[in-house]
């Protein structure tokens, strides 16, 4: 298949989809805001110029931080840190049990821990995120893969070990981890019952009620983190797996939510590689994708595009151009969907993926950390196309109104500076009919 056909396949009715996407970005990603300028006595100031500038989106544009300080030279370590913070405001911390606690009772939390490739110590990642105001997501708590060799085999000891691990992670990082993938890739988990499936090995996953047990456990120790169920690309968007309200993932979520499991978010991976031609046409079909989001939005839970890999397959210019074109189209579509809260690219650069996945060249940067066209596309979307920066003038009430993307703003009036947070969920819910969100700025020298 000529991969350029995927672009024309996505665009075949662009005169219909493009206006819909732009309309929905305007409707769901922006709000009406007001800055009120007052003097030191609290009186409104009229005719004052006010400059507002978006610094950081509320929407979570993320990436896995598995390669932080993982290079053999300081130059590339520095470049990785710079390039990540250049466009991302959300980072994923690796909680895989086998590398977080390779030796029983000695978790690799401290920055001085022995290095394991693609698994930097959690303290190191937290320090970087706090320095750069990057929100954090943990991935993943109870997983049917990547478990330590010392893991207990009997039911009671294994569950006690999982609870101990959960308690220790929460004690150290519970205040920092905003979101948490509690379980991951449960769709084929019954393989445990038959064995011989490589790294997939967590026998308790096959137990009836396992999903609810995991979420109840996570809520006990992470009461203020949002808890996600994460599932694979083809299990969510796949050619045969997505069958509307008869889809397995949908039915699993519906069942366990009905059983009272504290599932608070839906993860949908988008590793778009190693697929048949029919699968590619299915997952790059904009109408089909919109239908997926329409269905899962019935739960009224935030949706994360949780692990995104759109490959270029090589570093040839033509292949990188196709990757960039698909990245732009998919990000615009995802950003426009009302309940989508986050898009997380998985491997920032080529050559840094898990195992054989490196053959797909699914990074935004090349192996030497130079820009691919896809990186430049994302930077333009996030920092230019979806950016708000205006100079306003206050009215007779001292207010200056503007419509902008939800996020953190720098506001400057008469050399007085304030950081203002205009978030959709400022009060825990989006009250559309309550009027503009307002922030006050005091001019002390008047």
**111 and 220, same domain (yes or no):** yes
**130 and 275, same domain (yes or no):** yes
**239 and 215, same domain (yes or no):** yes
For residue 400, give every residue at least 6 positions away whose Cβ sits within 8 Å of its Cβ, in sequence order, or none.
Answer: 34, 35, 36, 37, 48, 50, 52, 392, 393, 394
Q: Given this model, what pLDDT does residue 94 score?
A: 98
Q: Given this model, what pLDDT does residue 187 score?
A: 81
**329 and 413, same domain (yes or no):** no
**256 and 293, same domain (yes or no):** yes
Strands 90-94 and 60-64: parallel
pLDDT in tens, 23-52: 999 999 999 999 999 999 999 999 999 999
Q: Given this model, what pLDDT does residue 200 score?
A: 61
**105 and 246, same domain (yes or no):** yes
Residue 368 lies in a domain: yes
Residue 3 lies in a domain: no
Measured CA to CA, the distance from residue 321 to residue 6 in angstroms comes to 13
Residue 8 lies in a domain: no
Measured CA to CA, the distance from residue 235 to residue 257 in angstroms comes to 19
- CATH code of residue 106: 3.20.20.80
- CATH code of residue 422: 2.60.40
**156 and 86, same domain (yes or no):** yes
**146 and 18, same domain (yes or no):** no
Cis-peptide, bond into residue 140, ω within 30° of zero: yes
Residue 18's alpha-carbon distances to 29, 287, 338, in angstroms, are 16, 12, 16
Residue 194 lies in a domain: yes
Per-residue pLDDT of the chain (446 residues; tens, 9 = 90+): 689 999 999 999 999 999 999 999 999 999 999 999 999 999 999 999 999 999 999 999 999 999 999 998 999 999 999 999 999 999 999 999 999 999 999 999 999 999 999 999 999 999 999 999 999 999 999 998 899 999 998 899 999 999 999 999 999 999 999 999 999 998 865 555 455 544 568 888 888 999 999 999 999 999 999 999 999 999 999 999 999 999 999 999 999 999 999 999 999 999 999 889 999 999 999 999 999 999 999 999 999 999 999 999 999 999 999 999 999 999 999 999 999 999 999 999 999 999 999 999 999 999 999 999 999 999 999 999 999 999 999 999 999 999 999 999 999 999 899 999 999 875 444 555 456 888 998 887 66
Residue 390 lies in a domain: no
Boundaries of domain holding 300: 59-385
Q: Given this model, what pLDDT does residue 267 score?
A: 98
**331 and 254, same domain (yes or no):** yes
Residue 4 lies in a domain: no
Q: Within 105-197, where are the H helices?
A: 122-131, 155-173
**234 and 338, same domain (yes or no):** yes
For residue 422, give every residue at least 6 positions away whose Cβ sits within 8 Å of its Cβ, in sequence order, or none.
Answer: 31, 33, 58, 404, 406, 407, 408, 409, 437, 439
**346 and 433, same domain (yes or no):** no
Q: How many domains does the chain have?
A: 2
Residue 392 lies in a domain: no
**308 and 433, same domain (yes or no):** no
Residue 320 lies in a domain: yes
Q: Given this model, what pLDDT does residue 428 score?
A: 47
């Amino acid at each position: 298949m000529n991969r350029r056909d995927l672009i024309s396949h996505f665009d075949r009715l662009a005169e219909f989809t493009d206006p819909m996407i732009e309309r929905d970005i305007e409707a769901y990603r922006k709000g009406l805001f007001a800055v009120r300028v007052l003097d030191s006595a609290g009186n409104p100031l009229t005719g004052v110029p006010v400059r507002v500038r978006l610094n950081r989106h509320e929407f979570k544009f993320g990436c896995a931080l598995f390669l932080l300080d993982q290079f053999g030279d300081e130059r590339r370590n520095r470049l990785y840190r710079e390039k990540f913070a250049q466009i991302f405001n959300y980072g994923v911390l690796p909680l895989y049990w086998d590398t977080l606690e390779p030796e029983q009772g000695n978790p690799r939390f401290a920055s001085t821990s022995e290095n394991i490739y693609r698994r930097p110590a959690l303290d190191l990642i937290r320090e970087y995120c706090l320095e750069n105001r990057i929100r954090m997501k943990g991935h993943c708590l109870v997983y049917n893969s990547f478990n330590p060799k010392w893991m207990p085999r009997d039911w009671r000891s294994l569950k006690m070990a999982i609870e101990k691990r959960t308690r220790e992670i929460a004690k150290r990082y519970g205040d920092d981890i905003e979101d948490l993938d509690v379980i991951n890739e449960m769709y084929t988990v019954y393989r445990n019952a038959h064995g011989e499936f490589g790294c997939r090995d967590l026998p308790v996953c096959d137990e009836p009620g396992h999903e609810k047990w995991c979420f109840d456990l996570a809520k006990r120790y992470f009461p203020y983190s949002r808890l996600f169920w994460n599932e694979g690309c083809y299990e969510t968007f796949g050619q045969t797996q997505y069958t509307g309200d008869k889809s397995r993932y949908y039915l699993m979520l519906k069942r366990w939510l009905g059983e009272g499991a504290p599932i608070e978010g839906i993860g949908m991976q988008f590793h778009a590689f190693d697929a048949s031609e029919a699968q590619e046409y299915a997952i790059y079909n904009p109408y089909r994708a919109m239908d997926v989001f329409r269905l899962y939005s019935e739960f009224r839970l935030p949706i994360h595009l949780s692990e995104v890999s759109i490959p270029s397959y090589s570093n040839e210019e033509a292949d990188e151009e196709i990757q960039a074109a698909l990245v732009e189209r998919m990000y615009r579509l995802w950003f426009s969907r009302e309940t989508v809260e986050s898009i997380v690219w998985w491997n920032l650069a080529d050559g840094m993926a898990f195992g054989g996945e490196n053959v797909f060249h699914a990074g935004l940067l090349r192996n030497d950390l130079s820009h691919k066209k896809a990186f430049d596309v994302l930077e333009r979307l996030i920092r230019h196309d979806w950016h708000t920066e205006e100079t306003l003038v206050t009215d007779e009430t001292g207010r200056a109104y503007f419509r902008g993307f939800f996020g953190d703003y720098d506001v400057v009036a008469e050399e007085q500076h304030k950081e203002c947070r205009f978030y959709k969920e400022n009060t825990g819910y989006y009250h559309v009919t309550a009027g503009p969100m307002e922030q006050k700025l005091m001019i002390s020298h008047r």
